[in-house]
Structure 1
């Protein structure tokens, strides 16, 4: 009995190696995979019979023979039509979504405005999106859903949420009942880090195993990749850097005073609110704020100078704390104003850290990175390859 169990474990491990190699190849052959994974051709052929039966293999036709001649190989790749996944970004003002193949490529995406701060009405909008999906050219249709949330998550449960009350509604459970597919909920900064790891959207000659994804938007958060894996800390609370206390030694605290947090002062929402207060207007939209910044408005520029120093100092401090190979930075302010980006990075450089990580301004929006990270996370679960090195395609 024990011997059979051991053989089953070995076969399952071999199956995962073959599936991993198939997934990561643009196109390949059974003989090539046999060489890459170090398994006998008969073993690989047996595994391929199972993978073909499950719908994971797509035949591409006959390839070229090798330099020494011989039989031309039958070329194959991971089957893009196996099924698709749906990834949501549960934002403060918008519900964004993307529909993707398991291999990563986007089929279509979209966004709708969120008018309620209750989870139930947002779930109803999710149902509408799911009901409109019709992808006929897949074997299994919808096979999984991921949800990016702006809150710490542990074991698919929200620890606390600054924007929505998840306690009153079991979002994961309701989606699983509706679709009968697995649903994963994860912190958006963690998913952004997974995106940078799995989609490899940087110099392909570099393989970062220890890096940080810094997201500056409604709040401020980081996703941490350590030895190639997400570091979540106790109860998924690692990375909640927006709650970092800011202390001014010149201020005098009295009983009941509360020290501000980093995101209370320097998140996008905080900066926009501070500009609105300085101009004595009740509400300032993000677009209006960006317009004021382009115009170099006198109410905005001093705050932006302060913001640049604060963000640069925080990047420096992150480097001292983690000594990562790289820090990926997502910010709509950086996206729109290269001169602000350069000025901020110059301040970081002038702080003259002993260790200088690669500082990479993301070309992908915060929302796209989080959703595509969700695509990778749920696809890994479907494939049973959560801890394997996989490369997804845009």
Structure 2
């Protein structure tokens, strides 16, 4: 029995290697995969019979023969029509979603305005999205769902949430009962980090194995990739950097009588609120704030200079804590105003760190990075390749 169990483990590991190689190849052949994974052709052929029966293999036709001649190979790739996954981002004001192939490509996406902190109404909107999907020519249709949340998560459970009231509603359970597919929930900054790892969107030859994804939006959070894996810390609480205490001799206590936290002062929401106070305007919209930045409003620019220096100092501190290969930075302010991003980089340079990581401003929005990271997360789960290096495509 022990020998049979060991053989089953070996065969399953071989299957994962073959599926991984197939997934990462735009176009390949059975013989090429056999060489790549170091397995005998007979072993690979046996595994391929199973993968073909499951629907993972797409035939592409006959390829070119090698330089030494011989039989032309039958070309194959991972089947883009196997099934699709659905990813949601539960933002403060919008529920965003994307429907993607298991290999990563977007089929369709959208956004729905939400005005409740209750999870049940958000679930109803998710249900409408799920019931409206009509995608033809798939073998398995919907195979998994992932949800990005602005909250720490551990073992598929939310630890606490500053934006939604999860206590009285089992979102994962309700989605699973509705769809009969696996449902994963994960912190949005961790998912952004997974996106940079798995989609490899940066113009670099190097594959980063140790990096930090810094998301500056309603709050401030980081996702940490260590040796290629997400570092979550105890109970998934790693990366809650927005809760870092900010102290100086002139620091003002917040409304609760405590010292302010980083995101109380320098998240995008905090900066917009502080700008509203300066301009003496109630209900200050993000669009109005961006217009003031575009006009370089003289009352607002000192606040922006403070923000640039404070974010630069925080980036420097992240570098000192983790010494990562790279720090990916996502912010709508930086996205809309590259000159502010450049000023922030110049400030980082002034601190003259011994270690200088690559500082990369993301072309993807906070929501897109988190949702596509969610696509990678649930696709890996469906394929059983959670611990294998995969390259997803847009």
Q: Does 1:231 align with 2:256?
A: no
Alpha-carbon deviation of 1:250? 3.8
Question: Match for residue 59 of structure 1?
Answer: 59
What stretches of structure 2 of length at least 5 have no aligned partner?
none
Query: For the Cα contact (< 8 Å) 2:28–2:75, is it kept in 1?
Result: yes
RMSD over aligned CA atoms reads: 1.1
More displaced, 224-233 or 273-282? 273-282
Alpha-carbon deviation of 1:251? 4.7
- Give the distance between the partners of 2:20 and 2:48, measured in 1 at CA: 12
- Give the distance between the partners of 1:274 and 1:31, measured in 2 at CA: 62
Instruction: Specify whether residues 229 and 251 from structure 1 end up closer, same or farther in structure 2 by C-alpha distance, changes over 3 A only.
Output: closer
Q: Does 1:187 align with 2:194?
A: no
Question: Match for residue 330 of structure 1?
Answer: 330
- Give the distance between the partners of 2:330 and 2:168, measured in 1 at CA: 31
- Give the distance between the partners of 2:215 and 2:12, measured in 1 at CA: 38
Query: For the Cα contact (< 8 Å) 2:216–2:331, is it kept in 1?
Result: yes
Alpha-carbon deviation of 1:203? 2.6
Query: For the Cα contact (< 8 Å) 2:252–2:259, is it kept in 1?
Result: no
- Give the distance between the partners of 1:323 and 1:303, measured in 2 at CA: 29
Q: Does 1:161 align with 2:157?
A: no
Question: Match for residue 31 of structure 1?
Answer: 31
Question: Match for residue 278 of structure 2?
Answer: 278
- Give the distance between the partners of 1:239 and 1:332, measured in 2 at CA: 20
Alpha-carbon deviation of 1:281? 1.7
What do residues 340-364 of structure 1 show as CA deviations (whole Å, max 9, x unaligned)? 0100000000110000000000000
Question: Match for residue 144 of structure 1?
Answer: 144
SS at 1:178's partner residue? helix
- Give the distance between the partners of 2:66 and 2:251, measured in 1 at CA: 74
Query: For the Cα contact (< 8 Å) 2:198–2:376, is it kept in 1?
Result: yes
Q: Does 1:351 align with 2:351?
A: yes
- Give the distance between the partners of 1:194 and 1:371, measured in 2 at CA: 10
Question: Match for residue 291 of structure 1?
Answer: 291
Alpha-carbon deviation of 1:277? 1.3
- Give the distance between the partners of 2:91 and 2:74, measured in 1 at CA: 46
- Give the distance between the partners of 1:38 and 1:383, measured in 2 at CA: 21
Instruction: Specify whether residues 142 and 252 from structure 1 end up closer, same or farther in structure 2 by C-alpha distance, changes over 3 A only.
Output: closer
- Give the distance between the partners of 2:375 and 2:282, measured in 1 at CA: 38
Question: Match for residue 15 of structure 2?
Answer: 15
- Give the distance between the partners of 1:308 and 1:238, measured in 2 at CA: 24
Alpha-carbon deviation of 1:282? 1.6
- Give the distance between the partners of 2:34 and 2:384, measured in 1 at CA: 20
SS at 1:168's partner residue? coil
- Give the distance between the partners of 2:253 and 2:194, measured in 1 at CA: 41
- Give the distance between the partners of 2:318 and 2:18, measured in 1 at CA: 38
Alpha-carbon deviation of 1:253? 7.7
Q: Does 1:49 align with 2:45?
A: no
Q: Does 1:388 align with 2:385?
A: no
Query: For the Cα contact (< 8 Å) 2:251–2:259, is it kept in 1?
Result: no
Q: Does 1:81 align with 2:55?
A: no
SS at 1:68's partner residue? coil
Query: For the Cα contact (< 8 Å) 2:60–2:76, is it kept in 1?
Result: yes
SS at 2:389's partner residue? coil
- Give the distance between the partners of 1:158 and 1:370, measured in 2 at CA: 16
Q: How many residues align?
A: 393
Instruction: Specify whether residues 250 and 279 from structure 1 end up closer, same or farther in structure 2 by C-alpha distance, changes over 3 A only.
Output: closer
What do residues 158-187 of structure 1 show as CA deviations (whole Å, max 9, x unaligned)? 101001110111000000000000000000
What do residues 231-278 of structure 1 show as CA deviations (whole Å, max 9, x unaligned)? 000000000000000001245889x83100000000000000011111
Query: For the Cα contact (< 8 Å) 2:85–2:143, is it kept in 1?
Result: yes
Question: Match for residue 177 of structure 2?
Answer: 177
Alpha-carbon deviation of 1:383? 0.2
| TM-score under structure 2 length normalisation | 0.98
SS at 1:208's partner residue? coil
More displaced, 289-298 or 61-70? 289-298
- Give the distance between the partners of 2:258 and 2:14, measured in 1 at CA: 56
| TM-score under structure 1 length normalisation | 0.98
Alpha-carbon deviation of 1:307? 0.3
